[in-house]
Amino acid sequence: MCIYFKFVLFDLIWSSQTTFTSFSFLEGYLNKLWFTLLFLIPLFCFRAVKWTLFIAFLLDILFIVNLMYFRTYFTAIPLDSYGLVGNLKDFTASVYDSVCWIDAVFPLSTLLTAILYYKKYKQKKVILPVWKKRQRAGRYLLLILVATLFSGAFIWSKGGFKAAYESLQGANKHTCDTPIYTVFGSLYYDYLLENIAYTPEIKQQIEAWLKLHPRHKTLPFQLEERNGCILILAESLESWVLEKTVEGVEITPCMNALLKEKTTLYASKVLTQVKGGRSIDAQLLLYSGLLPIGNGSYSTKFPRSLYPSFLKYLKNAENAKIYGMMVDKEIVWNQKVICPALGFDSLISRRSFVLDEKVGPRKKLGDLSFLRQCGEKISSPELWPDSAFVFLQCVTYSGHNPFILPEELKRVSFSDKIPKRMNDYMTMANYTDRAIGNFIAFLRSQRKFDKTLIVITGDHEGLANSRGTLCCSEKGKDVVSSDPYVPFIVVNSPVGMRYDKVMGQIDMYPTLLDLLGLRDCSWTGLGRSILDPDKKAFAVSPQMQVYGDIAGVPESEIEWAKEAWKISDLMIRCDYFRYNPRDKWTE
């Protein structure tokens, strides 16, 4: 009963943050029963109490880590991510922040069971004859067989395990898959996906979707050319902190000033569409115009797949040099391999920066110093020559959960009436804003500034499961956005505009194609440019939720937009671009 209780408790905690729909599926109870019977074989067949308790302890760990992962990514841990556990040492504080007090019930239930068992049965040593032991083991295995038949019947009736699992991928049931089929079912589904082969049927499915994709429209007017681009990918930067004053404190004065410039393009409601890859998923959306894969990170699962990229188009059109700067090690998210696949010529990583300003529990380089040192590096004619088009990506780190900023770096403060998580987030946003402001001020002193496109965006939302609590709080309800939007700011844009409709991160790729004057590109992405007047003002989240205005949008178009997630997954997983080369597709 203890092990079955753990499965049910896991489902209760999981469902409390999503939906309790999974509890209405009979097969969910049968699946939990089947695994419970399986894990109790050592006890009922061999009276191996210590082994049973050890299994229960391992289950405690498995359930807790998956709940921690779920609180940020809304999915169970992908199969391949178990091999990346070493990366967690750079995000220890974020890991601890994902733990909830109720998680302690798992190991406590194991401890309580052990105490009760040894108290009640330890002194009662009953030696059974061999035939009796075999008879009991046989009956128990027969019980498992019966449970297998019932559970298997449900799966068979739905067309097999893969079809049954995928039948839950709709908008309202997509978080029910793990509670119904357990963590082990999720792992098995991941395994099945690893073995998908590219077939004529898959090619037909992809190209049928692409035929319905509206053709990227060439702008009817010529834009002023830019001869450089700097992209700041700000960790966990959300839109709601911009243009916001709390207790008389302007949170982001530097970025607010940029928004007022006539040559700034600002989109305030960019829906977060990253999945398990988080920051590296943001780079996929930005540079390749593809949506993240369904489970895990594309950068670790499919680093050898061929990826289209506007960075590669820049190389073809402008003979551009592409550089990436980051405070992380190159092995994080497998950037050493995936960044060249996206078109980067060189990565300038942690060892190239002086750690003179420590931020966060891991004491990594703070945004203020990082962007200052980025400025020092691009002052070099070798890195930012007047005669060449240069693309530079700067990935910040300080905004990483749990938003811990040393006291000496704080320039704003809020009262104790503000919830601590909200207080910390706004304080960190102000710090990152100051870093960006100083960096922009430095760039203005450079000769190439007026001809350089400067893009500022958040890699993904930052509040995760804290959002609901903050939005319900007295001080947060009119300040914190209930939706996971990041900003998309383009300074020195050839088209100055404000776009307050909903767009997805997937729409940044075609928008940047327009702003950079990249015409006649074979791959224009799965999104649509916000410069296209026919673009519909909605986007689909990884959880299949629709955000934005869908009034007058046909249901078929909404379903088509949802289908894009599956199509993108197949394109990456099956290496579609390698098998279907087109002129200047991915050179």
Please name the residue that has the structure tokens 């297998």.
148
- Answer whether residue 493 is part of any domain: yes
Strands (E) in 336-474, as ranges, are 346-348, 358-359, 364-365, 390-395, 452-458
The conformational region for residue 103 under phi > 0 = left, psi -120 to 50 = alpha, else beta, is alpha
Residues 188 and 294 reside in one and the same domain? no
Within-domain flag for 584: no
Give yes or no for a contact between 288 and 505, defined as CB atoms under 8 angstroms apart. Answer: no
Residue owning tokens 């943001």: 282
Among residues 194, 229, 253, the one where a domain terminates is: 194
Of 148, 167, 194, at which residue does a domain stop? 194
Query: Are 327 and 399 within one domain?
Result: yes
Distance CA 255, CA 271 (A): 19
Compute the distance between CA of residue 137 and CA of residue 42 in angstroms, rounded to an integer: 10
585 found inside a domain? no
Per-residue tens of pLDDT for the chain, all 587 residues: 789 999 999 999 999 988 899 999 999 999 999 999 999 999 888 888 899 999 999 999 999 999 998 887 678 888 877 876 655 555 555 566 778 899 999 999 999 999 988 877 665 666 667 777 788 888 999 999 999 999 999 999 999 998 899 888 665 677 899 999 999 999 998 888 877 889 999 999 999 999 999 989 888 778 888 999 999 999 999 999 999 999 999 999 999 999 999 999 999 999 999 998 889 999 999 999 999 998 888 998 889 899 999 999 999 888 999 999 999 989 888 899 999 999 999 999 999 999 999 998 778 999 999 999 999 999 888 888 888 899 999 999 999 988 999 999 999 999 999 999 999 999 999 999 999 999 999 999 998 999 999 999 999 999 988 999 999 999 999 999 999 999 999 999 999 999 999 999 999 999 999 999 998 889 999 999 999 999 999 999 999 999 999 999 999 999 999 999 999 999 999 999 999 887 545 44
What gap in Å lies between CA 465 and CA 492, rounded to an integer? Answer: 36
Q: Are residues 327 and 463 in the same domain?
A: yes
Domain range spanning residue 490?
A: 208-579
443 lies in a domain? yes
For residue 584, the model assigns a pLDDT of 44
Measure the CA–CA gap between 161 and 336, rounded to whole angstroms: 36
Report the binding-site residues: 235, 400, 459-460
Asked about 279 being catalytic, the answer comes back as: yes
Q: What is the pTM of this model?
A: 0.84
Q: Does one domain contain both 186 and 219?
A: no
Is the separation of the CB atoms in 473 and 422 below 8 Å? yes
CA 460 to CA 484: how far, in whole Å? 8
Half-sphere exposure (CA, 13 Å, Cβ side) for 55? 17
Domain-located, residue 220: yes
Domain check: are 248 and 162 in the same one? no
Whether residue 398 sits in one domain with residue 258: yes
Same domain flag for 186 and 218: no
What residues contact residue 223 under an 8 Å CB cut-off, 6+ apart? 494, 495, 514, 515, 517
pLDDT given at position 360: 83
**Pick from 139, 166, 194: which residue ends a domain?**
194
Question: Is residue 216 assigned to a domain?
Answer: yes
How confident is the model at residue 587, as a pLDDT? 44
Residue numbers in the known binding site for Mn(2+) are: 235, 459-460
Specify the pLDDT at position 586: 44
Is there a single domain that holds both residue 255 and residue 231? yes
Please check whether residues 178 and 212 belong to one and the same domain.
Answer: no
Give the chain's domain count: 2
Q: Which position among 279, 288, 309, 493 bears the catalytic label?
A: 279
CATH no. for residue 230? 3.40.720.10
**Is residue 381 in a domain?**
yes
- Shared-domain flag, residues 178 and 293: no
CA 208 to chain CA centroid, nearest Å: 27
Q: Does the residue 107 lie in any domain?
A: yes
Both 190 and 249 in one domain: the answer is: no
**Rounded to an integer, what distance in angstroms lies between the CA atom of residue 113 and that of residue 56?**
10
Q: Are residues 235 and 327 in the same domain?
A: yes
